[in-house]
Structure 1
Amino acid sequence: MTFLTLTNIQKSFGPVKVVHDFNMAINKGEFISFLGPSGCGKTTILRMVAGFETPSGGTIVINDRDQSSLKPNQRNIGMVFQAYALFPNMNVFDNVAFGLKIAGIGKAEIEKRVKEMLALIHLEHLGDRYPYQLSGGQQQRVALARALAPKPQVLLLDEPLSALDAKIRVSLREEIRQIQQQLGITTVFVTHDQEEALSISDRVVVMNAGRADQIGTPFEIYNKPATRFVASFVGTLNLIEAKVVDPAANSVAIGDLVVRLKDKVEAAAGSTVQLAMRPEAGSLNGSAKGDTTLSGPVVSSHFLGSVIRTRMNVAGNIVSFDMFNDPSITPPAVGETVNLRIDADDLLVLQA
């Protein structure tokens, strides 16, 4: 059931248009991530949903109610910011209780709700601490509890994990997802970290220069990128130059090797196209599943712990491929010619 609808949303700051005709329908209880580089418009869309920015055009509807005439405090939205924004003169209990007090909730109900929220974030023993006495991860948990305490209809998260170190970031994002699923709250999460977006989202919106280049499940975004930008921004990507041999047969040439692609080739014979391939798509095992073999000398090999990433030269294209670390197998040496077994289905033709 559609719960949050954005229709033809536009936003300009003076002559600069930062969001172009954005459209999306978000279901109740869905976790949506907006992913993209700085300045792509993702936070601006979040702020328009919250009411902190007014759209230059379009409508925002939450639970069948147009939000255009509503102020931020009338929208029943919880928001968590990157910088925590906790009140330094209030302890944890009072920070979480703040929105409830503003709403005029009774003292007994406030105490009950705050205890529920502190239990939810596993900080019930720190209610009397002040923000400066907490770690960054604990402060962000308190900010989340404060946003959730008034039972908002939508939760907005604006890069809430970017100020934390890597290990805390991973554990906290999993905790946020668990809490979101437990409460069933419709959530919009803004991040520039692709791993975050792919790991916890129901759907991902990849933003590029104020537009949604692609909206899809993490699986679709990673494995079937719709544009060149999505393919290059999400994950590591090999770009391979090829010449079109027969567009009707979807055949292209990579050097002397002619490959018949599963992907549609919409270019004239003789023209150049770019193919994309993920590093994990190939295997040096000659008996591995695949219908195409890329051959060339090894340029470099890097040990990354569980994975060894090797680069080879295929008809002038530097192609990376990954293999799991196996102590019994020696990685290929620089200069050694290797044969990489792939499936033509893993070669995507990049559209502009």
Structure 2
Amino acid sequence: MSFLEIEHLEKSFGSVRVVKDFNLPIEKGEFVSLLGPSGCGKTTVLRMVAGFETPSTGSIRIDGRDVVSLRPNQRNIGMVFQSYALFPNLTVAQNVAFGLKVKGVKVADRTARVAEMLRLIGLEGYDDRYPFQLSGGQQQRVALARALAVQPQVLLLDEPLSALDAKIRVSLREEIRDIQRRLAITTIFVTHDQEEALSISDRVVVMNGGVAEQVGQPFEIYNRPSTRFVAEFVGTLNLIEARVLDRDSGRIGIGSREASLGRPLTSDRLTLGIRPEALTLGRAADRDMVLEGRIDDVHFLGSVIRIQATVAGERVMLDTFNRPGTPPPAPGQAAEFSVHPEDLLVLEGERSP
């Protein structure tokens, strides 16, 4: 039995089903991210786990106990919101101690716990400051400390970094992951940022239209997407239309070139998904599928050169490392591009609009 079990969870607002038969077992100490576009249902799932929304059907069990009928303050859950939600009239220490005070923890124990939390988030000496005297990143650290102070069984993070600038986001997400590992606390992290989800999660749940399209480790989600939506939503993906010449052998045509995918196909047309790093400019010994194209644009980014090209009538992108002795290709010139058939994602059916 998993530490946190979400089974057959559904939520409807009127006639609109926003979460549909959602199932997710989470192990103790695991860090799981719910990833998806706006309106996919990820925050609604989080709010049902927290107790802020009541499921239409389904169960939520924490350490074997069904919590659906319990109020939020009875679930032993810590939550960090996107907007920090700090009390502006309370100091940092008072904000962190708030949940402890509500629980009736003695003053001496509260003071010791607050000091411990401020050390954990690197804000020692900030006890008497007010939220308006802190930066956005510092405020979010205080919100995290407040959630952790009560020693929750589960930590819920609702897009906690979206209001911060890019540099602060990267550093704070690493701090959150480090703290989560040190405390070994079971955590659900909601985000629409793919890089965040892939970089810090044990597992990622990709949601679309209220459904969990795929659940897996970041490596698996990125390299072996199970649905077309996951393939197109996660990471950068080049899409090239191909003709199926022989279904049984997987023989296809791309522009004027033919190649074999080495596996049976079920339709007469398909779209190939190619990650930018799977494409190589020129012929490569370890990549035996060669495509013809044209260089459209070249962007020098220092250590990386980003190339935009046209292959089989489709715009594609690839990145290559800068080599001081090798100048980048010139826009407008014809070129060949190599790819290994195993690196192609076969997306059968209609292309997404």
Structure 1-normalised TM-score? 0.96
Q: 1:49 to 1:312 in 2, by over 3 A?
A: same
Deviations 1:61-114 (A, max 9, x none): 111000121100000000000000001111001100000010111111111111
What is the letter of the counterpart of residue 123 of structure 1? L
AA aligned to 2:211 is R
CA distance in 2, matches of 1:264, 1:191: 37
CA distance 1:84–1:351, shift in 2 (3 Å): farther
Structure 1 residue 306, shift from structure 2 partner: 2.9
Give 5+ residue unaligned stretches, structure 1: none
CA distance in 1, matches of 2:254, 2:301: 29
Question: What is aligned with 2:281?
Answer: 284
Distance, in Å, in 1 between the alignment partners of 2:343 and 2:72 is 46
Is 1:5–2:2 an aligned residue pair?
no
Per-residue displacement from partner, 1:239-264 (whole Å, max 9, x unpaired)? Answer: 01001111211221112212211565
For residues 96 and 322 of structure 2, what CA distance do their matches in structure 1 show?
47
1:275 to 258, 272, 277: 272
1:207-228 CA-partner distances (Å, limit 9, x unpaired): 1111111111110111111111
Query: Which residue of structure 2 aligns with residue 144 of structure 1?
Result: 144
Partner of 2:61: 61
Report deviation, 1:132: 0.4
Alignment of 1:80-99 (within 5 A): 80-99=80-99
Query: Which letter maps to 2:275?
Result: R
Match of 1:302, SS?
A: strand
What displacement does 1:3 show? 0.8
Q: For 1:69 and 1:185, locate their aligned partners in 2 and report how far apart those are by CA, in whole Å.
A: 23
Q: Distance in 2 between matches of 1:102 and 1:284?
A: 62
In 1, Cα distance between the equivalents of 2:222 and 2:313? Answer: 26
- Please tell me whether the aligned partners of residues 282 and 341 of structure 1 are also in contact (alpha carbons under 8 angstroms): yes
C-alpha distance in 2, partners of 1:219/1:299?
31
Instruction: Please say if 1:323 is aligned against 2:315.
Output: no
* CA–CA distance in structure 2, aligned partners of residues 105 and 262 of structure 1: 65
Percentage identity across aligned positions? 64
- 1:50 matched to which residue of 2? 50
Q: Deviations over 1:109-153 (max 9, x none)?
A: 111111110000000111111000000000000000000000000
C-alpha deviation, 1:336, in angstroms:
1.1
- Distance (Å, rounded) in 1 between the aligned partners of 2:65 and 2:81: 25
Alpha-carbon separation, structure 2, partners of 1:265 and 1:154:
44
Matched residue type, 1:272: R
Deviations, residues 288-329 of structure 1 (Å, cap 9, x unaligned): 421211121112222233322212222212222111222322
Change in Cα spacing, 1:131 to 1:340, as seen in structure 2 (3 Å) is same
Partner SS, residue 281 of structure 2: coil
1:202 counterpart residue number: 202
In the TM superposition, residue 196 of structure 1 has moved relative to its aligned partner by 0.4
> Aligned-pair distance for 1:281?
0.7
Indicate the SS of the match to 1:28.
coil
- CA distance in 2 between counterparts of 1:281 and 1:44 reads 36
The residue that corresponds to 1:169 in the other structure is 169
The range that moved more, 306-315 or 105-114, is: 306-315
Deviation at 1:272, TM superposition (A): 1.1
Q: Which runs of 5+ in 2 are unaligned?
A: none
- Aligned 8 A contact 1:262 1:345 in 2: no
> Secondary structure of 2:335's partner?
strand
Query: What is the CA–CA distance in structure 1 between the aligned matches of 2:184 and 2:285, rounded to whole Å?
Result: 43
Contact kept, 8 Å, 2:249 with 2:262, in 1: the verdict is no
Confirm or deny: 8 A CA contact 1:227 1:351 kept in the other structure: no
Instruction: Provide closer, same or farther for how the CA distance between residues 77 and 254 of structure 1 changes in structure 2, counting only shifts above 3 A.
Output: same
CA RMSD of aligned residues (A): 1.3
- Pair 1:305–1:264, CA change in 2 (3 A): farther
The answer to whether the 8 Å contact 2:248/2:263 transfers is no
TM-score, structure 2 length as denominator?
Answer: 0.96
Q: What is the SS of the residue equivalent to 1:47?
A: helix
Equivalent residues of 1:263, 1:345 under 8 A apart: no
1:286 Cα deviation (Å)? 3.2
Q: How does 1:231-246 map to 2 (within 5 A)?
A: 231-246=231-246
